[in-house]
Structure 1
Amino acid sequence: MISKRLMVRGISILTMQLFMLPVNAAHAEDVDLATRFGALESVLDVSLSPDGSQLAFIDQGANRKRQLYVVGTADAAEPRLILSSDGTSGDNLNWCGWVTNSRLACQTFVRDSVAGNILAATNIIAVDASGDNLRVLSKQRSSRSLYADFRGGSVIDWSSSDNGSLLMTRSYVPEASTGTHIASKAEGLGVDRVDTVNGRARKVESANRDAVYYLSDGRGNVRIMATQGYSSSIGQFEPVVRYSYRAADGGGWKYLAQRDVVTNEGFEPVAVDADANRVLGFQKIDGRQAVVAISLDGAAQTTVVYSHPEVDVDDIIRVGRNGRIVGVSFATDRRVAVMTDPAMAKMTAALSKALGESSIVVIDASADESRYIIRAEADTDPGVYYLFTPAAQELRPLLLSREPLSDLKLSRVKAIDYAAADGTRIPAYLTLPPSRADMKGLPAIVMPHGGPSARDEWGFDWLAQYFAQSGYAVIQPNYRGSAGYGDQWYENNGFQSWRTAVGDVADAGRWLISQGADSGKLSIVGWSYGGYAALQSGVLAPDLFRAIVAIAPVTDLAQLKDETSRDGGGRINAKFIGSGPHIREGSPAQNASLINAPVLMFHGALDQNVNIAQSRTMLRALENSGNRVELVEYSDLAHSLEASEARTDMLRKITAFLPH
């Protein structure tokens, strides 16, 4: 029971927790750091019922087990187990949301290797809050289906679900007509209104073979359709996505805009503003991504909603069941939310102050927005979920994001910059052990991010925090080739401009040494493109790093182009990777003889982002060069190695491998 209140800047914060799951999290002092930090987030997903009286959340447990709980938001409520999925057998829960106050819709996900091909499939299901009446809402295949389509669809509108229905995209596959007159000829992605109680569906938008997604206006009307051409003769998608709109009073589809998915030139619609009859999305202005609105009245009037002179604006903030647009977000040194809705701006500012200047994210809201689920997080706080009732100015803590870390003092993360070899200042984040103010004499790690079309941000990072707790100084550079800083910084991406990107990464290591870190204990650890950068740093600066750790790395660019040519995105990826001398010069596996440091690699055999063959190629190349190398394979995991046991094992092996 709640027994104490703390008044902070007008907001009453309940200082004892209503309930705290998962129950399987360990607090014992003898639990090692690898177990604590290797554990996945305790809570995967949280949602609030339309009337605000119930909470649903997915708890992540051991052996990739995920459990859906429902709990009343009253003081003495006890969570009820509704669904459980076991990732070791394939199927797993991704997210759940409330259709009505008594019914939920969830997405399930499965991945497996079939005849040497890694396949993934999703489904949307519905279940009562009591756990009864489980139904599959995704379009089901018949024995006459001409081919497989593993897209389970998505919920595009929750707003008019008081009758238990949802507006969903669903994929259709044509059927063989031999021996029947009722074979379906529908093909592609369409939109249906699906009754979640009885499973019946009514067509809202006919299936379109080229459709990739739709946007609604939050009021049950489909307003935007995105299409991407596919050449069946070569089995490849076109690199351009085209967008069409429908007028507010209905009618046929009309051309709106298009976007090149390689260069990101053009307009990408994200959210419809029904009140203003316009669509908001992303478009470059002066080489940086901005939020732009285009009217949907036929005039196509374009308005810049928000742009930033230094960084890309990369998020449109929406709240409520109808996806009301309330602001935009971008990252400079820290993530910044600019609320365009005055009431929401006032609310989030007050919450941030009450919670010690934490970053505030609105996760969900009741239908009337009288209650909100808030997540507060910071560099030293992995995240806490709260129930906020504005009328009472009451904030109740509900769930910890990473419960095993609750009793640890975590490290502060400092935004810094350092000089690259050509004098360019490279932004980065520095994390030191909790008790240290400098890095003199410390072992150190350079940790380049993945992508390369990504960037690091200020906040909690489980991997950087683990190394800091283990006594290392950690730097995370936003090297040139990173996204988020505009076209000039991005250059031609981290593969085509690998020499600049990897040079910046190596210079981060040199900066650590200049600040007093132990040059004999300098290592580099990277995941995905970060793993590529770690290996290629060993090629570019063979005497700098004493150990290299690469997790799910790209290692051979020619091989990567060949691998991606086998799926529909090969034509797009070929343009992204490019052609020329950098294909060989920028491939660690082609230059393994130049690497002096010992190498440790990790890879999941079900990785659909970077094929495990990339690590195996690197393993052979390093072995042939006489280098010390080890590859740890996880047979049933994908790119993110989403299993607490595997991550714990990986951290232990890395710790034993790195100089310290």
Structure 2
Amino acid sequence: MSIKKFALRGVSTAALSLAAVGMLPGVAATSAIAQDAPPQVAATIDGRIPVAEFVKAPNMKNVSMSPKGDKIAYLTGKDGRDVLVVLDLTTMKETPILAAEEAREAGDRTMTGFRWIGNDHVVMTIISRENLGGGLSDFRRLVAFDTKSGKSVQQAWRDAGGDAGVILYADHDTGKYLLQRDSVANSTERWGFPEVVEVDVDTGKFKMVQRTNPVVRGWSADSNGNIRAGYSSDRDNGKFRMLYRGENERNFKTVYNEADDTFTGSLPTPDLFIPGTDTAYTTSRHEGYEKVYKVDMKTMKLSEPVFETEGFDVGGLAVDGNEGKLLGYRTFDGTRDTVLLDETLKTVDGFMEDFFGKGEASVIDWNEDKTRFLVYAGVNKRNGGYYLFDAPSGKMQLLNWARTALKDAPKNPVKAEWYTASDGVKIQAIVTYPRHRMGQKNLPVVVMPHGGPFGVLSATNAAEPWGQPLAEQGYVVIQPNYRGSGGYGREFEELGRQPGGYGKRMQDDLNDVLTYFGEKGVIDPDRACIMGWSYGGYAASRGAQRDPEVWDCAIAGAGVHDMALMNKWDAENLGRFSSGFQATSDDPDGISAAKNTDGPWAPILIVAAKRDARIPMEQAEVLVSNLKKSGKVEGKDFRYIVQEQGTHNLPYDDVHIQWIEESLAWLEKYNPAYIPSDGDQAPALIKFD
């Protein structure tokens, strides 16, 4: 968690009156929010918005406010790539700082993140990708941009090793911060065992705070800037080790050293040290569901639950690390929310709820005095934009739409709904309905399993990029949180890890979507395609191979198609223990689409990113080669697209647009959204400049 930022998505708090707002320091008791730029409300948009408009780089993302609240920094899309910009909120002058592209090959340099240190410095994380012994490795450094002088200053580069980019604590008043870094000052024998230095953001000069420890690969600091804990994990036996020392103690002691070979637990790491104590807040799944506890860091004994939600995992804590203050609890029940504890944030959130509607605004950042707030409005019902709310004056100002073409166009409705799998397991799915066809029955469907697969989930208000564009074209889009998904407790996740889960029972969960929603009359199960990226790409090719009578087509992006080959790669690159995460050892060949290319297949679109650092290109190459050997015809039975500039994260407009447009073309070829028997026609596409 960063020092002060966290997402408040549709927080369920009672709306407070405007008079009540005035009871808090610095917040005006006004009767209405004043606006320079009131939110537009597009009454209707009759035409269809093209799919490309939904995936273009937004005008604003990763927006962060300076401590005094007079500037913001954010990424903006320009010419298909991200550009870091600082906006002076007094003059409204924008200062572009740096263009960021995803590093792909040896010699590439790029920015991967940024944050404020003090009120005038944006500290950027820069990586340099290098070829070391035939493999690619990233060197990480920090550079501070002075918004007053326009100069950039290297931060603690002298004697830095492979990684010098982890900020543990920052004092905004002094501009001093703690940086975890590898050092080569004396030797390279402790490469990967970091030290901690205190850095002056203005000069980049530093001094030692914590020397390396032979068993620590990462450190943690408290709200006073004291190093309190160290961590490491063993790649081969999976043991996670934690060292701890009390606030006024000199030496560290091992307090935890265990492995979880089920991969379904949660590590008892401190989310927030409680000042002046040996107690911290943490989360744990030891009682089945993720709950919030206090933990005695010396004995690792947990308290009774401090906070829990029935039937779901708690999503984590929202904390102010510098103040040592717990701000709220993140929750999930199909929708991501935050239960707030901070009174000022509760008040402002209620204010936003009154103004924009329940669940329609997220307070994403604020200044240190909590008088100015950044708000994103457009969570559920409409596309949105970023606003600046000045509490003392009550002034609300639109800074920019997230995407110019969309502005506040109405979204296709999204709901979290439950269905029962064929073996009786209850499963939640996120369903996006086409807004142009509300109330219509027997519609075509795209089933879209999320990536991961384990511990990941889809939510109604998550920034998932493909449900909206495809629903806009007339499809019902269903994203099942199949067994193994996160958010529903340890037992539900373990269901996916049991023998017969991966590629079998987990795959059945996707098929069962068609049965349930078909019986409801929402969809026509005979007009169904499966589409996904990463694990979703695996599920798509597995569906095309195993269940060709179920799916009219499949769309597999960045997928794994030969599991034994992937397991070998994981063991070499992730370590022997971590390679077991995917839980595929019981039948790797049987659940691999590339090993079973004979026989009927559903027509499949295969998309591979040439510079994918997670899924090697050989996965797609093996599948395509074997399809051809089995007599499948390219252009008819399958189509193969290699994205030369693509990575696992679809980082550029051109590759992302290609993915969604090619996916739509494949859907329209084998499962068109509109057919004569539907009784309606597709609205005209809107043209944007």
Which TM class, normalised by the smaller chain length? 0.7 to 0.9
Equivalent pair of 1:112/1:606 in contact (CA under 8 Å) = no
The letter of the residue matching 2:60 is: V
CA distance in 1, matches of 2:84, 2:190: 37
The higher-RCO structure (CA 8 Å, 6+ apart) is: 2
Structure 1 residues 592 and 118: alpha-carbon distance in aligned structure 2, compared to 1, 3 A threshold: farther
CA distance in 2, matches of 1:260, 1:278: 23
The letter of the residue matching 1:98 is: W
CA deviations over 1:581-608 (Å, ceiling 9, x no partner): x222222222232552111122222222
Number of the residue aligned with 2:85: 69
CA distance in 1, matches of 2:114, 2:76: 12
Whether 1:170 aligns to 2:186 is no
Number of the residue aligned with 1:248: 247
DSSP 3-state at the match of 1:456: coil
Larger deviation, residues 192-201 vs 335-344: 335-344
CA drift of 1:67 comes to 2.1
CA drift of 1:548 comes to 0.3
Q: Which of 469, 474, 477 pairs up with 2:477?
A: 474
Structure 1 residues 495 and 509: alpha-carbon distance in aligned structure 2, compared to 1, 3 A threshold: farther
Number of the residue aligned with 2:25: none
Structure 1 residues 273 and 610: alpha-carbon distance in aligned structure 2, compared to 1, 3 A threshold: farther
Structure 1 residues 268 and 332: alpha-carbon distance in aligned structure 2, compared to 1, 3 A threshold: same
CA drift of 1:534 comes to 1.6
Number of the residue aligned with 1:227: 232
DSSP 3-state at the match of 2:315: strand
Mapping 1:280-319, distance limit 5 Å = 280-296=281-297, 300=301, 302-319=303-320
The letter of the residue matching 2:99 is: S
CA distance in 1, matches of 2:607, 2:530: 14
Whether 1:456 aligns to 2:461 is no
Structure 1 residues 153 and 485: alpha-carbon distance in aligned structure 2, compared to 1, 3 A threshold: same
Mapping 1:16-35, distance limit 5 Å = 16-17=36-37, 33-35=50-52
The letter of the residue matching 2:433 is: L
The letter of the residue matching 1:69 is: V
Number of the residue aligned with 2:216: 211
For structure 2, the 5+ residue unaligned runs are 1-14, 19-29, 673-689
Mapping 1:361-510, distance limit 5 Å = 361-406=362-407, 408-453=409-454, 454-459=456-461, 460-493=463-496, 496=499, 497-498=501-502, 499-510=504-515
CA drift of 1:377 comes to 4.3
The structure in which a higher percent of residues are strand is 1
CA distance in 1, matches of 2:545, 2:195: 49
CA deviations over 1:379-404 (Å, ceiling 9, x no partner): 33455333333344443332333333
CA deviations over 1:30-77 (Å, ceiling 9, x no partner): 99713312202332322222221222222122232x322222223x52
The letter of the residue matching 2:550 is: L
Number of the residue aligned with 1:563: 569
DSSP 3-state at the match of 2:589: helix
Q: Which of 56, 61, 74 pairs up with 1:44?
A: 61
DSSP 3-state at the match of 1:583: coil
CA distance in 1, matches of 2:317, 2:428: 24
Structure 1 residues 330 and 166: alpha-carbon distance in aligned structure 2, compared to 1, 3 A threshold: same
Structure 1 residues 209 and 126: alpha-carbon distance in aligned structure 2, compared to 1, 3 A threshold: farther
Q: Which of 82, 102, 122 pairs up with 2:97?
A: 82
The letter of the residue matching 2:656 is: R
Structure 1 residues 389 and 37: alpha-carbon distance in aligned structure 2, compared to 1, 3 A threshold: same
Equivalent pair of 1:320/1:364 in contact (CA under 8 Å) = no
CA distance in 2, matches of 1:543, 1:639: 30
Structure 1 residues 569 and 299: alpha-carbon distance in aligned structure 2, compared to 1, 3 A threshold: closer
Larger deviation, residues 310-319 vs 345-354: 345-354
- TM-score, L = length of structure 2: 0.83
CA deviations over 1:138-191 (Å, ceiling 9, x no partner): 54568xxxxxx6433211112x23232211111124766xxxxxx997761121
CA drift of 1:492 comes to 4.8
Q: Which of 635, 648, 651 pairs up with 1:642?
A: 651
CA drift of 1:444 comes to 1.5
Equivalent residues, number: 625
Structure 1 residues 306 and 111: alpha-carbon distance in aligned structure 2, compared to 1, 3 A threshold: farther
Equivalent pair of 2:529/2:554 in contact (CA under 8 Å) = yes
CA distance in 2, matches of 1:533, 1:484: 20
Equivalent pair of 1:215/1:272 in contact (CA under 8 Å) = no
Number of the residue aligned with 1:587: 592
The letter of the residue matching 2:452 is: G
Equivalent pair of 1:479/1:501 in contact (CA under 8 Å) = yes
Whether 1:545 aligns to 2:551 is yes
CA distance in 1, matches of 2:67, 2:628: 59
Q: Which of 86, 110, 114 pairs up with 1:92?
A: 110
CA drift of 1:122 comes to 3.0
Q: Which of 196, 199, 203 pairs up with 2:201?
A: 196
CA drift of 1:113 comes to 7.2
CA distance in 2, matches of 1:18, 1:603: 43
CA deviations over 1:474-527 (Å, ceiling 9, x no partner): 111111121110122112536851222110011113334432534453111111
Structure 1 residues 452 and 504: alpha-carbon distance in aligned structure 2, compared to 1, 3 A threshold: same
Number of the residue aligned with 1:156: 168
CA distance in 1, matches of 2:117, 2:324: 14
The letter of the residue matching 1:622 is: L
DSSP 3-state at the match of 2:536: helix
Q: Which of 597, 611, 616 pairs up with 1:611?
A: 616
Structure 1 residues 113 and 34: alpha-carbon distance in aligned structure 2, compared to 1, 3 A threshold: farther
DSSP 3-state at the match of 2:435: coil
For structure 1, the 5+ residue unaligned runs are 1-6, 21-27, 143-148, 177-182, 230-235
CA distance in 2, matches of 1:246, 1:483: 32
Number of the residue aligned with 1:232: none
Number of the residue aligned with 2:8: none
Number of the residue aligned with 2:74: 57
DSSP 3-state at the match of 2:411: coil
Equivalent pair of 2:256/2:300 in contact (CA under 8 Å) = no
Equivalent pair of 1:257/1:266 in contact (CA under 8 Å) = no
Equivalent pair of 1:82/1:131 in contact (CA under 8 Å) = no
Structure 1 residues 94 and 373: alpha-carbon distance in aligned structure 2, compared to 1, 3 A threshold: farther
Whether 1:532 aligns to 2:538 is yes
Equivalent pair of 1:375/1:386 in contact (CA under 8 Å) = yes
- TM-score, L = length of structure 1: 0.86
Whether 1:630 aligns to 2:639 is yes
Larger deviation, residues 596-605 vs 320-329: 320-329
CA distance in 2, matches of 1:128, 1:577: 48
Structure 1 residues 584 and 115: alpha-carbon distance in aligned structure 2, compared to 1, 3 A threshold: same
Structure 1 residues 640 and 113: alpha-carbon distance in aligned structure 2, compared to 1, 3 A threshold: farther
The letter of the residue matching 1:93 is: M
Equivalent pair of 1:542/1:594 in contact (CA under 8 Å) = no
The letter of the residue matching 2:54 is: F
CA distance in 2, matches of 1:29, 1:509: 29
Whether 1:271 aligns to 2:287 is no
DSSP 3-state at the match of 1:534: helix
DSSP 3-state at the match of 2:417: strand
Equivalent pair of 1:237/1:569 in contact (CA under 8 Å) = yes
The letter of the residue matching 1:124 is: L
Equivalent pair of 2:312/2:487 in contact (CA under 8 Å) = yes
